[in-house]
Amino acid sequence: MRRIWPLIVSLGLITTACASSTQDSPGPSQDGATPSVDPASPSVTAEPSVLASGAHGPVWEMDPEIAFEDAASCENLAGLPTQEQGENVAWRAWRPGDWSTQESLTGACKWFGPEPWEPDLESSVPPEQVAIVITLLDGRVTPGSDEFEGGEVTQEEQYTVAGTPAARYEISGSDGEFLAGDGVIWVIGVQGELPSFDEPAIPNYMAIYTSSTDTSQLADDVEVLDAMVATLELLDE
């Protein structure tokens, strides 16, 4: 059973609003080429491409209508708190139109999966149908800390995502609170910088991640994860 448990850093219950929209996906890609479609993974129509260098590294960006077949979106307008270090972080997340998202105790537009599930507004633990989680993590929680118990960072790359610094971690052999088996975590520096992980005051950051002990399932989920990050929009409250 997949275990993807988000760390909740808010001081109270977060009230959220979620709105979904569905759009048709055009045929041509941004560079004029026809995107390739994997018959086994129809939800994602093309892979994100690294564009010109941004302020914080190569830009990881994609148009939702190209990224997903029948792209759908949801919003969390209440956002996640950064406590004394900044304003709440609100966002719009895009996903495949055949994927589900449900409001939960921890808020809206945070849990995503290829199969629907019954929402439980009394549980902060995602059900097994949830494949991808968005949350805000304390800067002291790192890909090498106890929450990722036993996990080894096998690859790290830095990008610019939604105009902010970001890092993509591939982790193997985890058996902690957040990941089970192998996984991928995107760290989004929503306060303008990536956590240094070794300073006394460390900025909180947005984490978007997935994991699985099933290699084939993980590959499909990571494909969606990378496209979701490429289409992420950070919103003003």
What tens digit of pLDDT does each residue of 36-85 get?
Answer: 434 444 466 666 655 566 677 899 999 999 999 899 999 998 766 555 55
Three-state secondary-structure class, residue 210: strand
Domain ranges of the chain: 49-235
Higher-pLDDT residue of 127 and 24 is 127
Higher-pLDDT residue of 189 and 72 is 72
Report the percentage of the chain scoring pLDDT > 70.
Answer: 63
Report the percentage of the chain scoring pLDDT > 90.
Answer: 36
pLDDT of residue 35: 40
* CATH T-level fold of 49-235: Protein Transport Mog1p; Chain A (3.40.1000)
Higher-pLDDT residue of 204 and 233 is 233
pLDDT of residue 4: 34
One DSSP character per residue, 8-47 reads P--SSPPP-----EEEPPPSS-TTSSPPP--TT-TTB-S-
